[in-house]
Each structure stands twice: as structure tokens, then as C-alpha cells.
Structure 1
Amino acid sequence: MITLKNDYLTVQINPLGAELTSVKDNETGLEYMWQADKAFWGRHAPILFPIVGRLQDNQYRLNDQTYHMTQHGFARDREFTVIDQTTTQVSLELAADKQTKALYPLDFILTLSYELVDHQLKVNATVTNPAETEMVFSFGAHPGFNLPLGGAMADFTDYHVTVSPKQIYQRVPLVGPYSDTQHAVPLDLKQPLQLNHDLFDHDAQVLTLDNHETTVMLSTPADDHGIALTVAAPYLGIWSPYPKQAPFVCLEPWWGLADDVQATGDLTSKVAIQRLAAKASFKAGYQITYF
């Protein structure tokens, strides 16, 4: 396990999946991250690559070949290599190999970096295409946060999600595990979204951000602790498993979506797919402030 530490926070990252597993307040010992209780969900903050969400029939076609890949791709279950580390920063890398090419035939280098700055953790990803041909992929993050956050008098339904800018967002419905992008519906987030488990009876709430910088804050009037995630991404998912009464919620920046209900199975025409030219790099990032 990799440990980063400054005056305020101690962070742990597992090289398996380059997964953020713990963020603790040094003074109070408060743990912000979901601790992967398998009774609810056995992960903390998986990295989603080279797909986000589910493929229809867990398969896709590329260059007239059919490949099998399960939800959210394989990066979350692969060992990353540490390429640079200090007391407050680490960079980890995953590159294509024989095992990944059985699932996804393209060359890639995926680099994740985590940097602690005061009360904030900066997370940045770079996808590099070393090949001479175009690369298609999706990328996402899936961090889960404990609820309640240290407030003995608070529970899940005492928390709300405040989105800035305060406006009406387009929400992409999910039909089963698949995106229904043709039937987006307005979601008024001029006021905070009060959390309750029934919000997730059709899976995640998926907001269209259109790459505009957006801050999503998770907090409660019952105490002073919370988190704020800032990102400029195409989409953001808000999720907690249903019908389980799980004591956590995920705030998920996505540069991709689950297959559309009208998906053809061709990866190059997949909804919200990213395209990366030969020898080029794609960059994505977000920041989480803990209070």
C-alpha cells in the first residue's frame, strides 16, 4: 500500500487498480472513504478503463473481431507500476500487455497521479496512444464516500448533494444497466439534492456536465464534515447500491457512458466514446476537498 501524508490528511492508494482506498483526517482520525464492505460493495474508488459502465451482452466489436469485457473494464483489477513517488505525490502506470490485448486489442499507457495539497487531493489521469492508428476508449473514476462522515446524529438521509453551478441539468436515464441518451430528462439542481435510497432505484443519477467545471458537494446540516469534488467532465454519476441500504455514496466523473439502449456493439460508434489520434495523449482530472 502507498501512503501519502501532509499536515492535514493521510491517504492510501493500492497499486492494484491504482485505487484510492483511504483518506483520513490526521487530527480527528475521520475516515472519508468507503471501506469496501462486501455486504454492500467490495470496492473503494475503482478506475474505469477502457470502458465506463456495461456493454450490451458484455461484448463489443472492433476491426471485425468480437471481444468480451465486463462492466467498467479491466484497469481496476490490474497491478499498476509506481513510476514516481514523494511524501505527498505518487504516479502509477499501466501499459498494454498480452492479457489486456485479449480483452482490448489496442496499445495504451494509462498513468494515474495523486497529489496532496493542504486539504485537497488532486487526481490526474493521462491516456497515451503509442500506436500509429486512432484509439477509442472511455475513462472514469468511481470514488465512494462514507455516510455519515463522523456525525453521530446524522445518517444517509441527512445528507444532500449541492451542485454548482446551480441550474437545471440534463439527466441520462438508465434502462437496466444501459444509457437511454435519447430520453434525457431535466433535473433541477438549483436546490440541493436530498439523499435517500430510493433515488437509486433505477441505478445511478447521471448528470450531463458538457465538460463545464462543476463542483459537487456532499454535506449535512448535522455536522461540519463533508467533501467537495470539482471536475470538468462530460458526465457525472451519483450512485449508491439499491435496494441495499448502503452507508455510502459515490460521486463519479465520467469521460464515457454505459452502452446505449440502441447500441450496435461497434466500439468506434459507442455512445460518448473518446477518440485519441496516433501518438497523442488524453488528460482528465478532478480534485476532492475534504472538510
Structure 2
Amino acid sequence: MYIIQNEYLELIVSEIGAEICSLRNKMDDLQYIWQGDPKYWSDHSPLLFPAIGDWKDNKYVIDGKEYEMPCHGFGRLEKFEIHCKDTEMICTLHSNKEIQTIYPFDFSLTIVYSLDRNILHVEQFINNESEKEMPYSIGEHIGFCVPLFKGEVYEDYYLEFEKEETANRYPLLNGRTIGKPVPCLMQTKRIPLHSEMFANGAWNFKGLSSQRVCLASEKNQHKIIIDFPGFSHFSIWSVPNASYICIEPCNGIAASEEEGYDPYQKKGIHVLKPGHSEIVTYSVTLLSPKVDALLENEEKKSILSKRISVRKFRKKVVTKEKIMRILKYAMASPSAGNSREWEFIVITEDAAKEKISQMSPYAVPAKNASVLIIPCLRKEKEWIDKQGNSWWVQNMAICSYGVLLAAKEEDLDGVWLGFYPDEMRVKLLAEYLKCENVLLPFSVIALGYRDGEALEKDRYDSDIVHFFSVSEKHCSS
């Protein structure tokens, strides 16, 4: 067993199948992964590779030779090489002579698990190292505990997709073969869970609009969110009266009745060209009141949330060392074509600050600031792309914001005083700075130690956020 952890999560993975055996929320000391009662199901979260479910009669034919394909493939049964570093775990399986007796391809499969606060990221790299096309499927079979707490029942829980779904279900016949589709979801986001819903096997879907699903309860505030972009199929499964549910985003599906033994023609199969690779990713996000509180506390400590416009400053010195660190951060800002067209003029003399404060009705805060930083375009360095576009305004804007963030990093506050594109303001400032022939002043950033309290504001507005969907051909909130 191999372990990685951070402040929020602890992940335990077995070298056999690179299987997730434990995912624990450390804030609540809560286990989310089914712990494998043989009475119902002895696994935890087996990796499905290179098959999803059964292939027809568990066999296939390549170049006239018949091969056996175990249910859900062999990846879950093989020993992976595992290396851990900090909050990342890399698990690798290489083809070998034994594997090639059932799967005649040279390949490597690498699973990368990484923790990002309350999120488990999973990246899967499939590489075809053989000289012929390689058919494969890959998928997840993650068993989550349901219910999570004593006193709850299975029926307290539900699955909720991010979008309304109208979809057929592909039933399993005799627990092996995919049957013809039957109506299931009708303009709904939610699937209520009940203990007998899987009496006839897994619920299998194809081509859902959603790429995110949430497992939640009516009785508690804990949520498990799975993001699965790019997966073509989605299944859920359990055993009647067992206290878990498997959530299974997959690229592939079990064999149907009419399928033959040619793996290249199998429904849902991926065919990887020689020397090519594919990457499949998903994530698991764990939410709870304690996790939410810790995330909110981190947000409050963030420089990004603390940065606000401050126009009144105390009469305190901002040292040259601080100014140089601010400019070092600012110079790390991105720029189109890596043109780095900027130069900086630094003003600390009171007479100059007072003069600049008079060049715009909005520049009054410059008078009492400890320092003014003026990002300028070096005219001779203006970068023009192949289409004849100039991007210096965008470059200066992001650089100016970089100055403000860097100042906050140094426990300073400030305000962006706009000069460009007002031609008169720019002209007055350039002439005063005696730089009009070589530099074009873009903005004046007044910095210092703020005088008095300033209220931090939460300006997030979900109404102005739109997620575009190619399938729906429009943006939605």
C-alpha cells in the first residue's frame, strides 16, 4: 500500500491494479471508499483496462489467433510500479511476456494520482509502443460508501447530474451482455437511490450531456463530486442491500448480443495508432461543512481576495527593497509573444507625486502615496504579430495588475490610476517625465500603507458566469 496526503485528504493505493483502497476526509476523519465486504463485493475501486465488462464470450480474435480477455480486463490484477513524491503518486504498468499471451501489444499505462486541497485528480496515460494499432477501453469502478453515517439509509441519497438528462439505459443481460436500450431518464438531473435498484445489474448510459455528477444526501451536507470530461459512457452499480454505490465513467461498454470477436469493431472501443498515446482524466471533489470552512479560511488569507483599491495612505516609508521585489514580481507577468515591452518609472519625491496628482481628476491619491510606479511602453519594443495586431495595451494592463498583487504580497495597498487611453493625461505625464520620445506611460499605481480600515468585498456574481456547451450550442449559467 502507498499513501499520499495533504491537509484535507489521505489517499491509499494498492500496487495491485493501482487500486484506490482508501480516500479519507481528514477534516471529518471520514472514509469515502467501500472497504470490500466479500459478502457483497470484495473490491474497492478496480481500474478497468483494456476492457469494460465482458467481451463476447470473454474472447477476441486478432490476425486469426484467439485470445482470452478477462472481465474488466487484466489491469486490475497486475502489479504496478509506484513512486510517491509529496502529494503525487505515479503508478506504471508495462506490457510483458505474460500479459502478451492475452493481449499481444507493447504498451505502457501510467496512472497519476495527485491531491489538490479537497480534490483528488487522476490522470491516465495510455501509450501504444507496438507496431500495430491497439484496441483498448479504460474506465473507473469507484465504490463509494452509501450511507456515510449511522442512522441513515440508502434511500436518503441521490445522484445529481450537472445538466438535465434524457437518456436510455442499456441493461445487462445475465450480468454479462448489454441488451437493447430502454427508457430511463426524462428531463431530469436527479437519480434517487434505493436498495433494490440494481437487482437486474448495472445502469449503463451512453453519450450523457453532463460531465459532472454529485453524490449527496437529504440528511447531511457531505458531497462527493466526480468530474469526468471526455468519457463516452457512464454506469452506476451496486448489489441489492449493500452499503455502497459504484460510479463508473468509462470509455467503452460490455459486449452486446450482436457483436462479433473483432476487437477493432467493438462498440465504444478506442483504437490507438502505433507510437501514439491518449490521456484520460477525472477528479473526485469532497465537500463537507468542515472542508468548506477551511477553504473559506484559506480564501480569506489569499492575496487575491485581500487586494482592494485603497486611496488613503499613512506617512510611512516604502523601502527601496520592497519596491524592487514588487517590480520583480511584476516583471514575471505574461506578455504577448514574450515581448516584455514594459519599463517602469518609480516616483518617491513628494513634489513629483503632487504634480502627477493634478494631471487627472482621478489621480488625487497619488499625492499622499508613499511611492508611484508607472508602467510604460518602450516604443521601440512594441510587438506586432503576423496579422499586424499590437498587444501592448493588454501587456501593460496585466503588468499593472501584477504590480498591485505584488504590493499586497509586501503588505502594501494601492490603487490603479488610469492615464491611457486619455491622450491629454498621457501627454502631460510623458512631458513631465521627459520620456515622450521613448516611453508611453500607461498607468500610475499609487502604493503605500493604508490609512484606516478598508472593507474587503466579495464581488463574485454567478449570474455573469456562462459555461459554453458545444452540444447545446449556447452558454448557460
Identify the TM-score tier after normalising by the shorter chain. over 0.9
- Report deviation, 1:170: 3.3
User: Structure 1 residue 50 and structure 2 residue 50: aligned?
Assistant: yes
The higher relative CO (CA closer than 8 Å, separation ≥ 6) is in 1
User: Structure 1 residue 194 and structure 2 residue 192: aligned?
Assistant: yes
Question: After superposition, what is the alpha-carbon deviation per residue over 1:211-242, rounded to whole angstroms, capped at 9, x for unaligned?
Answer: x551111111101122110112101110002x
In 2, Cα distance between the equivalents of 1:252 and 1:268?
Answer: 23
In 2, Cα distance between the equivalents of 1:41 and 1:209?
Answer: 28
| Partner SS state of residue 261, structure 1 | coil
- Report deviation, 1:90: 0.7
In 1, Cα distance between the equivalents of 2:194 and 2:73?
Answer: 29
Q: Which has the larger radius of gyration?
A: 2
Aligned twin of 1:15 = 15
Q: Which runs of 4+ in 1 moved over 3 A?
A: 182-186
- Report deviation, 1:186: 4.6
Cα RMSD of the aligned pairs, angstroms, is 1.5
In 1, Cα distance between the equivalents of 2:183 and 2:256?
Answer: 15
Aligned twin of 2:271 = 275
- Report deviation, 1:201: 2.1
In 2, Cα distance between the equivalents of 1:279 and 1:191?
Answer: 40
- Report deviation, 1:189: 5.5
Contact 1:162 1:189 in 2 (8 A): no
Please tell me the residue identity of whatever aligns with 1:37.
Answer: D
Please tell me the residue identity of whatever aligns with 1:121.
Answer: L
Given the two structures, how large is their TM-score scaled by the length of structure 2? Answer: 0.58
- Report deviation, 1:62: 1.4
Aligned twin of 1:221 = 218
Name the count of aligned residue pairs.
Answer: 285
User: Structure 1 residue 135 and structure 2 residue 134: aligned?
Assistant: yes
In 2, Cα distance between the equivalents of 1:277 and 1:185?
Answer: 36
Aligned pairs (5 A) from 1:65-76: 65-76=65-76
Aligned pairs (5 A) from 1:1-291: 1-82=1-82, 84-149=83-148, 151-176=149-174, 177-180=176-179, 182-183=180-181, 185-188=183-186, 190-209=188-207, 214-232=211-229, 233-241=231-239, 244-291=240-287
Please tell me the residue identity of whatever aligns with 1:72.
Answer: H
In 2, Cα distance between the equivalents of 1:10 and 1:126?
Answer: 23
- Report deviation, 1:147: 1.0
In 2, Cα distance between the equivalents of 1:214 and 1:237?
Answer: 13
Question: After superposition, what is the alpha-carbon deviation per residue over 1:14-61, rounded to whole angstroms, capped at 9, x for unaligned?
Answer: 111000110111122110000011111111000111111012222111
Contact 2:8 2:118 in 1 (8 A): yes
Contact 2:196 2:241 in 1 (8 A): no
- Report deviation, 1:174: 2.2
In 2, Cα distance between the equivalents of 1:256 and 1:167?
Answer: 20
In 1, Cα distance between the equivalents of 2:11 and 2:265?
Answer: 38
In 2, Cα distance between the equivalents of 1:20 and 1:189?
Answer: 33
Judge which range, 72-81 or 224-233, deviates more: 224-233
In 1, Cα distance between the equivalents of 2:49 and 2:63?
Answer: 19
Contact 1:163 1:189 in 2 (8 A): no
Structure (1/2) with the larger strand percentage: 1
Contact 2:161 2:210 in 1 (8 A): no
| Partner SS state of residue 100, structure 1 | helix
In 2, Cα distance between the equivalents of 1:65 and 1:261?
Answer: 22
Query: Unpaired segments of 5 or more residues in structure 2?
Result: 288-477
Q: Percent identity?
A: 29
Given the two structures, how large is their TM-score scaled by the length of structure 1? Answer: 0.94
| Partner SS state of residue 48, structure 1 | coil
Judge which range, 118-127 or 57-66, deviates more: 57-66
Question: After superposition, what is the alpha-carbon deviation per residue over 1:129-164, rounded to whole angstroms, capped at 9, x for unaligned?
Answer: 012221111111111001111x33311111101011
- Report deviation, 1:118: 0.8
In 1, Cα distance between the equivalents of 2:105 and 2:210?
Answer: 30
Contact 1:173 1:185 in 2 (8 A): no
In 2, Cα distance between the equivalents of 1:183 and 1:196?
Answer: 21
| Partner SS state of residue 30, structure 2 | coil
Specify whether residues 119 and 189 from structure 1 end up closer, same or farther in structure 2 by C-alpha distance, changes over 3 A only.
Answer: farther
| Partner SS state of residue 248, structure 2 | strand
In 1, Cα distance between the equivalents of 2:183 and 2:254?
Answer: 17
In 2, Cα distance between the equivalents of 1:171 and 1:189?
Answer: 14
- Report deviation, 1:165: 1.4
In 2, Cα distance between the equivalents of 1:113 and 1:209?
Answer: 26
Please tell me the residue identity of whatever aligns with 1:217.
Answer: C
